[in-house]
Each structure stands twice: as structure tokens, then as C-alpha cells.
Amino acid sequence: MGRRGPAPKPTALKRLQGNPGKRALNDSEPRPTATMPRCPTHLQGEARAEWRRVARGLHDAGLLTQIDRAALAVYCQAWGRWVKAEAQIQRHGEVVKTVSGNVMQNPYLSIANRAMKQMREMARELGMTPSARSQIKVVPPDEPSLADLLFEAVGGEVG
């Protein structure tokens, strides 16, 4: 069963906003190292080209680490599928005739629509839309997080 409502907000973002919900914060949230992931070998054609187009920018913005590789691969695969389906729609139209002469919706239209939905979902997860980016505050990897600064201020060691 899928989750209901909006995706949970990262703990770092809640802290930076002063924890407006006043709920307990997750102090154990993972902080992955900012290693640039390699493009998976199964991505080919348009999917691989999309990886090359967006991966460096996402990584440089602090939005892509090694553990985000699969999420970006899903986005890129959906992109590649969407591009192929759109080419078929352009070639044959949105409505096609069956062998028996009946008119029906081009099956590639359903494929394109599903791929667009998957792309939108993954783009939001990866901070690739203007509205998603407006809700994200990224701490560059070289700088300590707010949690590190607060912990250091109360006499703890950072590291």
C-alpha cells in the first residue's frame, strides 16, 4: 500500500525552517557522501543521453549522491520510454486503425502518458522542478550541516 499525502520533508529542511510542526526530529537520518554516481549500463539511447544531460547538474547542486543512482535511473528510463512513444505517436497519430478497420487510441499514447507520470514523480523526488527546488535547502558537502554547528556549539565534537 502506498503512502498517503506529500512526501516527508527532510530533517535538515525542518531544522532550517525552525521545525514549524514541532514534531520530534529524526536525528538518525542518513547523510550520504556526495559521490557522483555512474550511469547504469542498462540505460541506452535517449535514457543514457538524459543521464548525461542532468546528472552533473544535480550532483553539483547537492541533489544527487551515489545512493540516488537508482532514482535517477528510473527518471532517465521513463524519459527514454517517453521519447520513443512520442516518436511513434508523431509517426502514426493519436488514433490508429486496427487490422479489422476499427479506430482506436494509439497504444503508444498510454505508454507516453505513463512515462510522463513517472518522470514527474521522479523529477519531484530529485528536486528537478521549480516547485520542488523551492522546498529544498542544500548544504554543500564541504560545509558543516546545521546539526553539526549546533552540536559543536554545545561542546560536542564534529566528525
pLDDT at 110 over 70: yes
Residues 23-76: tens digit of each pLDDT: 777 666 667 777 899 999 999 999 999 999 999 998 888 788 899 999 999 999
According to DSSP, the residues that pair with 103 across neighbouring strands are: 97
- Asked if residue 156 lies in contact with residue 27, where contact means CB atoms within 8 angstroms, the answer is no
Instruction: Tell me the CA end-to-end span of the chain in Å, nearest whole number.
Output: 38
User: b or e along 95-130 (b: 16 or more beta carbons within 10 Å of the residue's beta carbon)?
Assistant: ebeeeeeeeeebebbebbeebbebbeebbbbbbbee
